[in-house]
């Protein structure tokens, strides 16, 4: 009896896995974040442009802002870069960048600086996360990831994948308006 029941149970388990896992209506960008509704993790990192400078989200208290995690090694970050440039020109909220260094080498900061000089800088400030600890604190799975933080310093939205104008208009602008910063 077990030799028939066990394969049947395995088959049912696989069917259930495929039904839920391959659901075409599932939003692949909707990975839950434990940070939603909670205070954004504090950070103070050196500036990509001016290594003597410090980028800290404690200076952003009282304002709505976007935090974008990117890296020079990230192909999808290049895909979203033009969109971030266009969004920054709208002057809706400041965009803070965190360059996620996975190389840890001495030239990584220079790569990030050259990237911004060559492609343009959409960021009000750009932090350099040499060790990658800050992005871990933020629960980043992979770059690019973009967070929206409200005036109280709470994370109100997280988007995984390259930013697009459509995502900005449908997901970010309404939340920014609701957070007290009109678009």
The pLDDT value given to residue 98: 97
Round to whole Å and give the CA distance between 175 and 63: 13
Domain that holds residue 154: 35-178
Whether 103 is covered by a domain: the verdict is: yes
Whether 137 is covered by a domain: the verdict is: yes
Whether 1 is covered by a domain: the verdict is: no
Length of the chain equals 183
The dihedral formed by the CA atoms of 122, 34, 55 and 132, expressed in degrees to the nearest 10? -90
The pLDDT value given to residue 93: 97
Mean pLDDT, contiguous 10-residue spans, the chain (183 residues): 60 56 52 81 95 94 96 94 97 96 76 95 95 92 94 95 96 94 50
Whether 16 is covered by a domain: the verdict is: no
The pLDDT value given to residue 68: 98
The pLDDT value given to residue 183: 45
Whether 7 is covered by a domain: the verdict is: no
Whether 28 is covered by a domain: the verdict is: no
- The CATH number that applies at residue 105 is 3.40.30.10
The pLDDT value given to residue 23: 53
Sequence-ordered list of residues with C-beta below 8 angstroms from that of 77, at least 6 positions apart, any chain: 70, 71, 143, 144, 162
Whether 54 is covered by a domain: the verdict is: yes
DSSP character at residue 64: -
Return the beta strands (E) in the chain as ranges. 44-47, 54-56, 65-70, 95-100, 125-129, 145-149, 155-160
Round to whole Å and give the CA distance between 147 and 17: 30
Report yes or no: 138 and 41 within 8 Å, Cβ to Cβ: yes
Residue whose pair of structure tokens reads 């200076």 in the numeric block = 59
Whether 15 is covered by a domain: the verdict is: no
Instruction: Output the pTM of the full model.
Output: 0.81
180 dihedral zone (left: phi>0; alpha: psi -120 to 50; beta): left
């Amino acid at each position: 009896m077990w030799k028939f029941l066990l394969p049947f149970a395995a088959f049912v388990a696989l069917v259930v896995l495929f039904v839920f896992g391959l659901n075409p209506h599932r939003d692949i960008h909707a990975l839950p974040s434990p940070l939603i509704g909670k205070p954004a993790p504090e950070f103070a990192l050196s500036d990509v442009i001016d290594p003597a400078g410090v980028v800290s989200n404690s200076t952003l208290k009282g304002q709505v802002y976007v935090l974008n995690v990117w890296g020079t090694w990230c192909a999808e970050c290049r895909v979203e870069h033009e969109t971030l440039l266009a969004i920054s020109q709208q002057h809706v909220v400041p965009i803070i960048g965190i360059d996620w260094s996975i190389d840890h080498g001495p030239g990584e900061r220079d790569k990030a600086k050259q990237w911004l000089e060559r492609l343009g800088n959409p960021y009000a400030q750009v932090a350099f996360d040499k060790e990658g600890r800050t992005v871990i604190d933020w629960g980043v799975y992979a770059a690019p990831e973009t967070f929206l933080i409200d005036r109280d310093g709470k994370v109100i939205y997280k988007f995984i994948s390259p930013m697009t104008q459509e995502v900005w208009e449908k997901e970010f602008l309404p939340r920014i308006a609701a957070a007290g910063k009109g678009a």
